[in-house]
């Protein structure tokens, strides 16, 4: 009997609780979903307004559009070289055999310092010819001077004097010929051998011979250059010829900069590219003979803009960017991507202007909301 009463009391209590809950639901309904939490929808004009909280939820971040100052042409294969005006080769005007190399790669030399010694029959013969011509010219001058005095004293006839004068002129001509054969040779005869002298002060960049090697006339033996000057040689596709001129900027991966100093007049037959030479502002750690990639900065066309590369979203055969203005977002066409390097791209986009804001993060989420523009100038 007690168990039956307990069950009856529990049933009454349960009915009371259910009734109370029903009354609260009828008189205090639960809040419905607000418009603010509903998914954003594009307006008929192709734009969408997003509250700051919605932008945060979509992970949207913004970047600036700027006027482009250049169009980068990256990935150009280049080689560092000694400047043409600050480097010279050491060569002999005669054939011979190298007996000693007096300087090593990387060492500094002074102009006129002996750097290579060789044995050359031609050089010794040229030296002997010069010595003989100098001696004969001295004797002829002395004889002509004596005959002039004897003529004045009436001791010899004028014909004798004219003959010695002619001999003196021939001797001087032979001396000039012997000197001409050695002109610019930068050599010194020493102990039956020939010493080749450094033509300029600088650093030995390359040694091309070793003792025992045969040396042909004008064959390079050493390359000497100014270590504080360095050029970069590279090629550019011929399609850019009209845009290239001296003074353009060249950048290296380590941040070093160079300036174009020479542009070839024709294409390189092997690569079919236009050879360019640029001067490094400061060689730093770079050495001649280094192979690297450089970026040439071309003049920008009218209307070219610079913006973060992350703002570009592939769209078919082209790209889109998302313009932000006063809380509203709109997709705009990028008509041309002229070049890019690092985190920056240079583009043509009529709907963008310098100072505008574009989306650099969250573009995929916006693409799901906003339709693509129907033409490049859509705003």
CATH number at residue 115: 2.40.50.100
pLDDT for 353 beyond 90: yes
Torsion region of 25: left, alpha or beta (phi above 0 gives left; psi -120 to 50 gives alpha): alpha
Q: Domain containing 249: what range?
A: 73-85+227-298
Do 149 and 231 fall within a single domain? no
Boundary (domain end) residue, out of 196, 225, 254: 225
pLDDT for 1 beyond 80: no
The pLDDT value recorded for residue 84 is 79
pLDDT for 354 beyond 70: yes
- Number of domains making up the chain: 3
The CA-CA-CA angle for residues 352, 356, 362, to 5°, reads 95
The answer to whether position 37 is within a domain reads no
Between 123 and 47, residue with greater pLDDT = 47
Q: pLDDT tens digits, residue range 89-102?
A: 888 888 889 999 99
Q: Give dist(CA 52, CA 326) in Å, integer.
A: 11
The pLDDT value recorded for residue 126 is 67
Do 80 and 106 fall within a single domain? no
Do 209 and 127 fall within a single domain? yes
The answer to whether position 363 is within a domain reads yes
Q: What is the mean pLDDT of residues 106-120?
A: 89
The answer to whether position 29 is within a domain reads no
Do 101 and 51 fall within a single domain? no
**To 10 degrees, what angle do helices 158-182 and 121-152 make?**
160
pTM of the model: 0.64
Q: How confident is the model at residue 181 (pLDDT cuts 50, 70, 90)?
A: low
Least confident of 13-27, 142-156, 335-349: 13-27
The SS3 of residue 342 is: coil
Q: pLDDT tens digits, residue range 253-285?
A: 988 999 999 999 999 999 899 999 999 988 888
Boundary (domain end) residue, out of 276, 298, 320: 298
**DSSP state string for 154-219:** TSS-HHHHHHHHHHHHHHHHHHHHHHHHHTT--EEEETTEEEEE-SSSEEEEEE---TT-EE-TT-
Q: Name the average pLDDT for the chain.
A: 82
The pLDDT value recorded for residue 18 is 38
pLDDT for 50 beyond 50: yes
Non-local (6+) Cβ contacts of 2 within 8 A are none
Do 261 and 207 fall within a single domain? no
CATH of the domain at 241: 2.40.30.170
pLDDT for 132 beyond 50: yes
Do 246 and 161 fall within a single domain? no
The pLDDT value recorded for residue 17 is 38
The pLDDT value recorded for residue 180 is 66
Q: Are 376 and 351 in contact (CB under 8 A)?
A: yes
The pLDDT value recorded for residue 28 is 47
The greatest distance separating any two alpha carbons of the chain, rounded to the nearest whole angstrom, comes to 182
Q: Are 293 and 78 in contact (CB under 8 A)?
A: yes
The torsion of the CA quartet 125, 131, 135, 136, rounded to 10 degrees, works out to: 30
Boundary (domain end) residue, out of 178, 193, 225: 225
Torsion region of 5: left, alpha or beta (phi above 0 gives left; psi -120 to 50 gives alpha): alpha
Q: How confident is the model at residue 289 (pLDDT cuts 50, 70, 90)?
A: confident
pLDDT for 210 beyond 80: yes
DSSP H stretches of helix in the chain: 2-27, 52-57, 121-152, 158-182, 363-369
């Amino acid at each position: 009997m007690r168990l039956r009463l307990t069950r009856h009391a529990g049933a009454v209590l349960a009915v009371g609780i259910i009734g109370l809950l029903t009354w609260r639901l009828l008189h205090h309904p639960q809040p419905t979903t607000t418009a603010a939490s509903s998914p954003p929808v594009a307006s008929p004009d192709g734009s969408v307004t997003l509250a700051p909280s919605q932008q945060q939820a979509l992970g949207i971040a913004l970047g600036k559009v700027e006027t482009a100052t250049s169009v980068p042409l990256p990935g150009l294969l280049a080689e560092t070289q000694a400047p043409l005006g600050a480097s010279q080769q050491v060569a002999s005007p005669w054939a011979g055999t190298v007996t000693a190399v007096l300087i090593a790669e990387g060492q500094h030399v002074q102009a006129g310092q002996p750097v290579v010694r060789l044995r050359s029959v031609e050089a010794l013969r040229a030296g002997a010819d010069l010595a003989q011509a100098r001696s004969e010219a001295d004797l002829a001058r002395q004889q002509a001077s004596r005959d002039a005095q004897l003529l004045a004293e009436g001791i010899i006839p004028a014909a004798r004097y004219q003959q010695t004068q002619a001999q003196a002129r021939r001797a001087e001509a032979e001396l000039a010929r012997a000197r001409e054969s050695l002109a610019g040779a930068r050599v010194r005869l020493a102990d039956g051998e020939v010493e080749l002298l450094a033509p300029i002060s600088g650093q030995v960049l390359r040694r091309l011979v070793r003792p025992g090697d045969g040396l042909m006339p004008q064959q390079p033996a050493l390359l000497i250059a100014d270590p504080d000057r360095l050029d970069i040689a590279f090629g550019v596709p011929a399609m850019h010829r009209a845009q290239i001129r001296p003074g353009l900027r060249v950048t290296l991966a380590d941040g070093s900069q160079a300036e174009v100093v020479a542009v070839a007049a024709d294409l390189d037959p092997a690569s079919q590219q236009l050879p360019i030479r640029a001067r490094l502002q400061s060689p730093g750690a770079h050495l001649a003979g280094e192979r690297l990639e450089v970026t040439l900065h071309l003049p920008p066309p009218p209307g070219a803009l610079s913006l973060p590369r992350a703002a570009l979203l592939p769209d078919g055969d082209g790209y889109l960017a998302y313009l932000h203005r006063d809380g509203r977002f709109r997709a705009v066409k990028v008509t041309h991507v002229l070049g890019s390097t690092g985190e920056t791209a240079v583009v043509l986009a009529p709907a963008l202007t310098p100072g505008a804001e574009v989306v650099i993060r969250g573009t995929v989420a916006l693409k799901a909301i906003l339709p693509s523009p129907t033409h490049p100038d859509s705003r």
